[in-house]
Amino acid sequence: MEELLKLDQELFLFFNNLGSSPWDGFWLFITNKFASIPLYAFLLFLLYRNYGVKPTLTIMVLVAAMITCTDQLANVFKHGFQRPRPCQEDFIEQGRYIAVRCGRYGYFSAHAASSTALAIFMGFLLKRFYKYAFPLLIIWALVVSYSRIYVGVHYPGDVFTGMLIGTLIGLGFYHLFKWIYRKYFKI
């Protein structure tokens, strides 16, 4: 286990040190939870356009539950494992810490889990209408996830675990929506 944690620290330093001052503002913007509001509004428009009012409202409720699920699960893991964030470690002097704040613990990344869950869920909902929706949403989730390493608050292992858990939760909520849609909306 110690070797795995050391590898994660080395990967963190590699990926974190890819950054440079001219890009810091961009990555701080990307990692901000409010930066994706225009994307959310656009996705909402696409859902309404292709599914109608009632299914879109159902999707909104499911998205709220899905994000709550990823965030609360991340809190359980964070307090259960109590793994210090990289910005809390002595070796951060070898890296770049540019985040606005640094929490105490961080296993796994809630940003990575939430963005991946949303990308999987929305990607599957929209891919039959827009063939590039799924890959573009996955790229967005990867960018948001990497931003957590760039700003110095998560290890690559935290991000990878968050993306894995987000994928499972996104798939689960997609299948739940399919069941609801067939049962209540499909005539």
Question: What is the full per-residue pLDDT of the chain (187 aa) written as tens digits?
Answer: 789 889 999 999 999 999 899 999 999 999 998 999 999 999 999 999 999 999 999 999 999 999 999 999 999 999 999 899 998 888 888 988 898 888 888 888 999 999 999 999 999 999 999 999 999 999 999 999 999 999 999 999 999 999 999 999 999 999 999 999 999 987 5
For residue 154, give both structure tokens: 């998560």
pTM: 0.92
CA distances from 23 to 28, 128, 178 (A): 9, 35, 41
- Identify the CA nearest to 124 among candidates 79, 60, 167, 69: 167
Instruction: Return d(Cα 177, Cα 80) in angstroms, integer.
Output: 31
